[in-house]
Amino acid sequence: MIKFHIADKGTLYSGPPDLGHPVPPEVLWIDICSPTKDEEAELEKALGLDIPTREEISEIEQTSRLYRSNGLLYMTAVIIARANSLAPTTVPVTFIATPERVITVRYDTPTSFEIFQARCEKRTVEIASASDVLTGLLGTIVDRAADILELVGADLEALNREIFLYTGAKAKNPNRKQPQRRNLEEVIGDVGRSHDVVFRIRESLQSLERLFVFLRNNGAPWPDETERQVAALEEDVRSLSEFDGFLSNKVEFMLDATLGLVGIQQNGIIKIFSVIAVVFMPPTLVASIYGMNFEHMPELRWLLGYPWALFLMLLSAICPYLFFRWRGWL
């Protein structure tokens, strides 16, 4: 799918592509999403430049992601997509920057692209040149990353209360009714998902920071205002990277704490079985003694022998239990 975004009195609106004719100068942004081979060939012919393929934009080498060719800047960054789903991911997006227009090549649709396109359709974004398109789009991507980190931070705060505060409140006031807690396996799943999102954001921010450095060093034909905007976005990315690192450490701590709680629960279960085994061990010993088939046993023909054996077994079970309670092991 190919979309032409056309300038009109300081704003952009989308129009159908006309690949049979030269691209008019008022087209400031061409968005290419999962193009067919025929569309790619026709667009390359109309623009007179090379459109990277899916394999080319997926390269991880720095020289394959950021380079200049025939006076054009080819810049590829990974952008987070489906952050609110159970399977967040990052998708590579290539920005081809020319003095006349910006061309984006992608094979997925990050939410940041949908947001920027919606703003363009509502004409709430002032666009006067190709540099405005690029900085506006990159700014939307950075804002989206900030929003995702804020949501992750809020989710981690809720998980933190769920993991720690309920237990502490119960210890202070055992009679207080506690909110129903989820299974720790579900909590671990939420923590793991937050870790996945934080990792994806870090990957995206690192690629954006390299893109901004490359753009500042190679974007001389554009106005000075564009350079200042790119420098501001680069500073925002650095701040978000620091916050992302803080969240990453917090996720690691919460994951360790949750696994620790799982271990405590398992130890509690093992302790219960151990106590049961110790409590029933003396009665078993008494029953074993009186179960021996010796001919001469003093209590064998005693009228109260059976109640006496039951009393000994009960006493031998109660004594270890009371001892454990006295030592505070139960």
In three state form, how does the secondary structure of the chain look? CEEEEEEECCEEEEECCCCCCCCCCCEEEEEEECCCHHHHHHHHHHHCCCCCCHHHHCCCCHHHHEEEECCEEEEEEEEEECCCCCCCEEEEEEEEECCCCEEEEECCCCHHHHHHHHHHHHCCCCCCCHHHHHHHHHHHHHHHHHHHHHHHHHHHHHHHHHHHHHHHHHHHCCCCCCCCCCCHHHHHHHHHHHHHHHHHHHHHHHHHHHHHHHHHHHCCCCCHHHHHHHHHHHHHHHHHHHHHHHHHHHHHHHHHHHHHHHHHHHHHHHHHHHHHHHHHHHHHHHHHHHCCCCCCCCCCCCCCHHHHHHHHHHHHHHHHHHHHHHHCCC
Model confidence at 15: pLDDT above 60: yes
Which residue, of 248, 264, 280, is where some domain finishes? 264
Model confidence at 173: pLDDT above 60: no
Model confidence at 11: pLDDT above 90: no
CB 127 within 8 A of CB 137: no
Specify the pairing of strand 66-69 against strand 72-81: antiparallel
Which residue, of 264, 281, 309, is where some domain finishes? 264
pLDDT band at 99 (very low <50, low <70, confident <90, very high): confident
Q: Are residues 298 and 254 in the same domain?
A: no
Mean pLDDT of 109-127: 85
Q: Rounded distance, CA 315 to CA 312, Å?
A: 5
pLDDT band at 327 (very low <50, low <70, confident <90, very high): confident
* Least confident piece of the model among 6-20, 86-100, 173-187: 173-187
Structural domain including 284 reads 265-327
pTM of the model: 0.76
At residue 235, the pLDDT reads: 92
At residue 151, the pLDDT reads: 92
Model confidence at 183: pLDDT above 70: yes
Length of the chain: 330
Q: Are residues 31 and 177 in the same domain?
A: yes
Which residue, of 249, 264, 279, is where some domain finishes? 264
CATH of the domain at 321: 1.20.58.340
Count the domains in the chain.
2
pLDDT band at 143 (very low <50, low <70, confident <90, very high): very high
The dihedral built from the CA positions of residue 283, 284, 289 and 293, taken in this order, carries a sign that is: positive
Give the highest mean pLDDT range of 81-85, 148-152, 307-311.
Answer: 148-152
pLDDT band at 323 (very low <50, low <70, confident <90, very high): confident
Within 13 Å of residue 63, how many CA atoms lie on the same side as its CB? 0
Per-residue b or e along 54-87, where b marks 16 or more CB atoms closer than 10 Å to that residue's CB: eebbbeeeeeebbeeeeeebbbbbbbbbbbeeee
Q: Are residues 47 and 152 in the same domain?
A: yes
Between the alpha carbon of residue 169 and those of residues 138, 162, 176, 184, 258, the distances in Å are 46, 11, 8, 18, 17
pLDDT band at 240 (very low <50, low <70, confident <90, very high): very high
pLDDT band at 169 (very low <50, low <70, confident <90, very high): very low
Model confidence at 142: pLDDT above 90: yes
Share of the chain above pLDDT 90, in %: 16
CB atoms within 10 A of CB 43: 20
Return phi, psi of residue 3, to 5°.
-125, 135
Model confidence at 177: pLDDT above 70: no
Q: Are residues 246 and 133 in the same domain?
A: yes
At residue 139, the pLDDT reads: 92
Average pLDDT of the chain, as a whole number: 82
pLDDT band at 223 (very low <50, low <70, confident <90, very high): confident
pLDDT band at 178 (very low <50, low <70, confident <90, very high): low
At residue 202, the pLDDT reads: 92
Q: Are residues 204 and 270 in the same domain?
A: no
At residue 171, the pLDDT reads: 46
Q: Are residues 203 and 298 in the same domain?
A: no
Q: Are residues 253 and 286 in the same domain?
A: no
CB atoms within 10 A of CB 137: 23
Share of the chain above pLDDT 70, in %: 91
Model confidence at 230: pLDDT above 60: yes
* pLDDT tens column, 32-69: 888 888 888 888 787 778 888 888 888 777 667 888 88
Q: Are residues 105 and 215 in the same domain?
A: yes
Q: Are residues 152 and 41 in the same domain?
A: yes
